[in-house]
Amino acid sequence: MLKYLLRGILSGIAVKLLDNYRRLSVQLFKIEAAKSYLHGVRMARLSAIGLMSMGLVIALICIGAVLFHVGLFVLLPWSVETKAILAIGLGLAYMVIGGVALRAAMNERRWMEKSGAAEMLADATRQVHAD
């Protein structure tokens, strides 16, 4: 009888401890999920701000390039053919420069470093090797 009573008390204590542990684990999971969500919202906000800023900068550069070319072609006393060849050359140069800049901006390694994903991946692999 005492053995069953003692076993019942111990199992009750174990159930209480496990229930407490489960509640704390759920709370910790909710906190980590909230942190991840807030980090995602922050990254989305910064991305939107960066996108708008880049759009403004690109628009200003385009307007400046158009105004520069209009002024250049109006003021140059060259023939129409010479101005056309100059326009084609400048257009090709801008396409090449834009392509190089776009390639540099979309570099996967740079994105991994800037986003912190490379560091997270290194931490995850370090934990796997440590276990």
Distance CA 42, CA 34 (A): 12
* Helix, strand, coil shares, percent, the chain, to 5: 95, 0, 5
Half-sphere exposure of 112 (CA within 13 A, CB side): 8
* Cβ 118 vs Cβ 100: under 8 Å: no
Q: Which residue has the higher pLDDT, 124 or 84?
A: 84
Q: Using 50, 70 and 90 to split pLDDT, how confident is the model at 82?
A: very high
Distance CA 97, CA 25 (A): 53
14-38 mean pLDDT: 87
CA 83 to chain centre: 43
Q: What is the pLDDT of residue 105?
A: 82
User: Both tokens of residue 11?
Assistant: 């199992």
pLDDT at 127 over 80: no
- CA angle, 57 then 73 then 78, to 5°: 150
Q: Which residue has the higher pLDDT, 126 or 49?
A: 49
* Cβ 118 vs Cβ 112: under 8 Å: yes
Burial 48-74 (b: 16+ CB within 10 A, else e): eeeeeeeeeeeeeeeeeeeeebeeeee
pTM of the model: 0.50
Q: What is the pLDDT of residue 99?
A: 85
pLDDT at 108 over 90: no
